[in-house]
């Protein structure tokens, strides 16, 4: 069952234009409301991982791991450096057998940043997590989502 995030609304970030600062939300915060939920999909459906950092650049690794205490390390999906804005990245997850998985986005960035990570099933966003080192009390550099693949 989907659960709604209890995170507080994100704080707008000051953007510089010339010598003046303009207060407004970053493009990452304009994608829509955050919703954190378990994602269920059929094995035959296409699943994509989306990531965007506003600020940047950022080193990013996206991986998928079996949700099992005895499973070996995860499978890398993407590893590389994203340039500064605009830098949205969408990459497809590899086909997986029915079971439980964790999809992870891990990144390293400098300066201010806002990020948005999404999991999309058959083109529909089923998970969206937003984070910022400006508006969050505890900004983290890893986002994860539980994915259950049904036969």
- Specify the number of domains making up the chain: 1
Across the range 10-32, mean pLDDT stands at 52
The answer to whether 10 and 29 are in contact (CB under 8 A) is yes
What confidence tens digit (pLDDT) does each residue in 116-148 have? 999 999 999 999 998 888 766 666 788 999 999
CATH of the domain at 142: 2.60.60
Assigned domain for 2 exists: no
Assigned domain for 53 exists: yes
Specify the pTM: 0.77
Q: Is the pLDDT at 3 greater than 60, yes or no?
A: no
The answer to whether 29 and 40 are in contact (CB under 8 A) is no
Assigned domain for 110 exists: yes
Assigned domain for 41 exists: yes
Assigned domain for 83 exists: yes
pLDDT computed for residue 137 by the predictor: 64
Assigned domain for 89 exists: yes
Assigned domain for 24 exists: no
The range of the structural domain enclosing residue 136 comes to 31-150
Q: Which of 51-55, 67-71, 147-151 has the lowest mean pLDDT?
A: 67-71
Assigned domain for 113 exists: yes
Residue 57 φ/ψ region, left for φ over 0, alpha for ψ in the -120 to 50 degree band, beta for the rest? beta
Return mean pLDDT, the chain: 80
pLDDT computed for residue 14 by the predictor: 36
CA 108 to chain CA centroid, nearest Å: 13
Across the range 90-105, mean pLDDT stands at 94
Across the range 41-66, mean pLDDT stands at 92
């Amino acid at each position: 069952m989907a659960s709604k995030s209890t995170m507080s609304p994100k704080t707008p970030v000051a953007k510089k234009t010339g010598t003046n600062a303009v207060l407004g939300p970053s493009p990452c915060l304009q994608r829509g409301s955050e919703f954190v939920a378990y994602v269920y999909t059929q094995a035959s459906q296409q699943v994509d991982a989306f990531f965007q950092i506003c600020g940047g650049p950022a080193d990013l690794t996206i991986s998928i791991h079996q949700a099992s205490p005895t499973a070996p390390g995860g499978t890398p999906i993407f590893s590389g450096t994203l340039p500064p804005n605009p830098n949205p990245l969408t990459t497809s997850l590899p086909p997986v057998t029915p079971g439980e998985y964790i999809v992870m986005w891990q990144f390293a960035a400098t300066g201010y940043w806002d990020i948005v990570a999404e999991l999309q099933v058959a083109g529909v966003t089923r998970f969206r997590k937003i984070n910022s080192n400006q508006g969050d009390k505890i900004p983290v550099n890893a986002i994860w989502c539980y994915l259950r693949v049904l036969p």
